[in-house]
Copies of this chain bind each other. A is one copy, B any other.
Amino acid sequence: MSYRTDTFRIAMAGPADLSGLTALIENDALDPAEIAAILVKTEGNGGVNDFTREYTCATIAATLAPYLRATNAEVERRIAMVVSGGTEGVLSPHATIFARVPTPSPAANGRGLNGDGANGKSKRLAIGIAATRDFLPHEVGRAPQVEATAQAVREAMTDAGITRVEDVHWVQVKCPLLTAERVQAAVRAGHSPVTEIAYKSMAYSRGASALGVGVAMGEITAPVSDDIVLSDWSLASGVASASAGIELKNNIVIVLGNAEEATGATVIAHAVMRDAIDAAAVIAALRSAGISAADGAAIDASRIVNVLAKADPSPDGMLRGWRHTMLDDTDISATRHARAAVGGVIAGLTGCPAVFVSGGAEHHGPPGGGPVAVIAKV
């Protein structure tokens, strides 16, 4: 199988504004049947009562259903949609659309990443998708979710045509959370869920998902037991990005990397931010993706398709020896603070505020830090 990965970043005037998407379709720039995944940043609060996420999902489904001659539910199953709420500070609401365009025979890539392939071909942006089985409530946030996620990552790599873990640069996971109803069902069935608090279950689910990515990537080699989740912070993945949602019971996995089988005009690279202001990591990721700038000069922002990053307040309340106040603010949630700051760091370096910064980074890189990836035009 060979395919070309096309990417489109569109501005959104609100959670239901998909005029950019329909324009691409109407102008024949995008075949809706080839859309593989859509990553969205909406202007909700990113918290429990952020209804912009489901509103955007529902609107995407309703918008594409006629084009795909499918029901809304079929669209939601067919296209991997990840909607992250929160455009604090300079962050700008936008969607990134990934399409897989079948190509009859492997086209010869030009200049790509990571040296030439086995047959003299370069690698280009590849995308693969897989899903786990539905989890029972008491499996969420525990070893079964870790293992099933790891397996799904491997399947998504195969789907993408990526053979080496070194070629994986971002693994977006959409994972379930525990509602009161699911908790009650577990208890009635004689099981004990990892937590009875919905908000806390989001952290457990994200954490177990990130650990699953780490296992698949070989970053974690020892067996992962239940009690490691949200406990042993030395275990983490440098390419994971998990976000929990109420609308599913299994994990959906999107692997982004570079592959010989993939053609197109873009590549992806990543680095790991050690804390929220680790500009050096962002610069390193940009450079790995082929984008650099002389000291002080602006980089060429037009070559950046998007920057993806995870933001988290450092749990010890300190940053480079100075106290931060994100965890103690009763008026603004810590995640909102962190997204605003990391958005500033990245937009300052790239000159573009339409970047995908999402919050909640348990076992995603070091505490207070997280992965950052750059998708760039070759």
A15 cross-chain contacts in B, Cβ below 8 A:
51, 55
Contact A55 B45, CB 8 Å, known A324-B90, A340-B89 = no
Question: A205 in the interface, Cβ–Cβ < 8 Å?
Answer: no
Contact A340 B295, CB 8 Å, known A51-B51, A93-B325, A330-B48 = no
Q: A16-45: which residues lie under 8 A (CB-CB) from chain B?
A: 16, 43-45
Q: A78-95: which residues lie under 8 A (CB-CB) from chain B?
A: 87-94
A245 to chain B, nearest CB (A): 13
A330 cross-chain contacts in B, Cβ below 8 A:
45-50, 333
Classify chain A's interface size: 35 or more
Q: Which of B93, B294, B325, B336 is within 8 Å of A43, CB to CB?
A: B325
Instruction: Judge whether A287 and B296 touch: CB under 8 Å.
Output: yes
Per-position binary interface string of chain A over residues 279-322, scored 1 when its CB falls under 8 Å from any chain B CB and 0 otherwise:
11011100100001111111001000000000000000101101
With the chains together, A280 CA to B196 CA distance in Å? 33
Instruction: Judge whether B50 and A11 touch: CB under 8 Å.
Output: no
A352 cross-chain contacts in B, Cβ below 8 A:
320, 322
With the chains together, A88 CA to B301 CA distance in Å? 27
A86 to chain B, nearest CB (A): 10
Question: A215 in the interface, Cβ–Cβ < 8 Å?
Answer: no
Question: A218 in the interface, Cβ–Cβ < 8 Å?
Answer: no
A332 cross-chain contacts in B, Cβ below 8 A:
88, 331-332, 336
Report the nearest B residue to A340, measured CB to CB: B340
A298 cross-chain contacts in B, Cβ below 8 A:
280
With the chains together, A92 CA to B282 CA distance in Å? 22
With the chains together, A50 CA to B342 CA distance in Å? 25
A198 to chain B, nearest CB (A): 8
A239 cross-chain contacts in B, Cβ below 8 A:
none
With the chains together, A18 CA to B282 CA distance in Å? 36
Question: A349 in the interface, Cβ–Cβ < 8 Å?
Answer: yes
Q: A50-91: which residues lie under 8 A (CB-CB) from chain B?
A: 50-52, 54-55, 58-59, 62, 87-91
Instruction: Judge whether A13 and B323 touch: CB under 8 Å.
Output: yes
Report the nearest B residue to A94, measured CB to CB: B322
Instruction: Judge whether A88 and B284 touch: CB under 8 Å.
Output: no
Question: A175 in the interface, Cβ–Cβ < 8 Å?
Answer: no
Question: A165 in the interface, Cβ–Cβ < 8 Å?
Answer: no
A14 cross-chain contacts in B, Cβ below 8 A:
51, 54
Question: A180 in the interface, Cβ–Cβ < 8 Å?
Answer: yes
Contact A348 B351, CB 8 Å, known A90-B324, A93-B325 = no
Contact A328 B49, CB 8 Å, known A62-B62, A344-B89, A347-B345 = yes
Question: A353 in the interface, Cβ–Cβ < 8 Å?
Answer: yes
Question: A276 in the interface, Cβ–Cβ < 8 Å?
Answer: yes
A29 to chain B, nearest CB (A): 19
With the chains together, A294 CA to B283 CA distance in Å? 12
A331 cross-chain contacts in B, Cβ below 8 A:
45, 47, 49, 331-333
Report the nearest B residue to A354, measured CB to CB: B322
With the chains together, A49 CA to B85 CA distance in Å? 13
A269 cross-chain contacts in B, Cβ below 8 A:
none
